[in-house]
Amino acid sequence: MAEKTMSDIQREVDEYISQFKEGYFSPLALMARMTEEVGELAREINHSYGEKPKRSDEADNSIEMELGDILFILSCFANSLGIDLSQAHDKVMNKFNTRDANRWTRKTGEL
């Protein structure tokens, strides 16, 4: 299977959401959903790397699935606002490569 681009992911999410009369949720509702999903990721991270073991009756979620949920909601958020996540990523990487060019200690021999 070929790797999906961010554009492919956004298009796939849009095709899925477009099947339904309700369409995308409002930005406020999407922000609430994103917060909920980040909380679920935090719970899984705490179970895997923290001191809080999972109860025997808790669902068998995984960090991978929680990150997938976040990616889905992020795609919904961007699509609903007409934001191309690939372009947003490029802008952010440019910011980090200029503003923070000398902020961190580079590995030997790398620019």
Q: What is the pLDDT of residues 19-32, one digit of tens each?
A: 999 999 999 999 99
Q: Is the pLDDT of residue 101 over 80?
A: no
7-16, 29-38, 65-74, 101-110: which has the minimum mean pLDDT? 101-110
Structure tokens at 100: 């923070």
Q: Average pLDDT in the 79-91 region?
A: 97
Q: Please answer whether residues 84 and 90 qualify as being in contact, where contact means their C-beta atoms are separated by less than 8 angstroms.
A: no
In CATH terms, the superfamily for domain 10-99 is MazG-like (1.10.287.1080)
Average per-residue pLDDT for the chain: 91
Q: Please answer whether residues 17 and 76 qualify as being in contact, where contact means their C-beta atoms are separated by less than 8 angstroms.
A: yes
> How large a percentage of the chain has pLDDT more than 90?
68
**Would you list the domain boundaries of the chain?**
10-99
